[in-house]
Amino acid sequence: MPDIATHRRKVHHNRQVIAHLQTAGDVYLDWVITAMFYTALHLVDQVLYHYARLNPRNHRERHAAIGQQPALASVYRDYRELERQSRRSRYDCADFTLQEVQWLAERLARIEQLVDSLVPQG
């Protein structure tokens, strides 16, 4: 069962993956978006674990848990949009622009800021 520290390590790892993929310009934007979504997932999981000791096993469980966690209400739309675009990338073979990736990066940043304010470091 992953704890907060485990989720933080995964967030850090995913950020490194994103940075590496972005060195190729617009070649791997589909994977950048997917890594951004999974970064958001592990950020949200930190809050779920911190407040309720929850570790959702799948997306359905995670959505239900987020719905019961008022602390996440302000970023739920951001999370859903990252998830939606990740699915478009993976299943619809959608192409993305650097501007779209930047827009999603702003959504990820809002999630990260909220999580940083809710979950104590350490």
Q: How far apart are CA 10 and CA 59, in angstroms?
A: 17
The average pLDDT across 38-45 equals: 98
Task: Give every CB contact of residue 13 below 8 A, 6+ residues apart in sequence.
Answer: none
Question: What is the predicted pLDDT for the residue at 76?
Answer: 97
* Contact partners, residue 1, CB within 8 Å, separation at least 6: 55
pLDDT above 90 for 96: yes
| Structure confidence at residue 121 (pLDDT) | 87
| Tens digit of each residue's pLDDT (9 = 90 or more) over 19-35 | 999 999 999 999 999 99
- The fold for domain 4-118 equals Four Helix Bundle (Hemerythrin (Met), subunit A) (1.20.120)
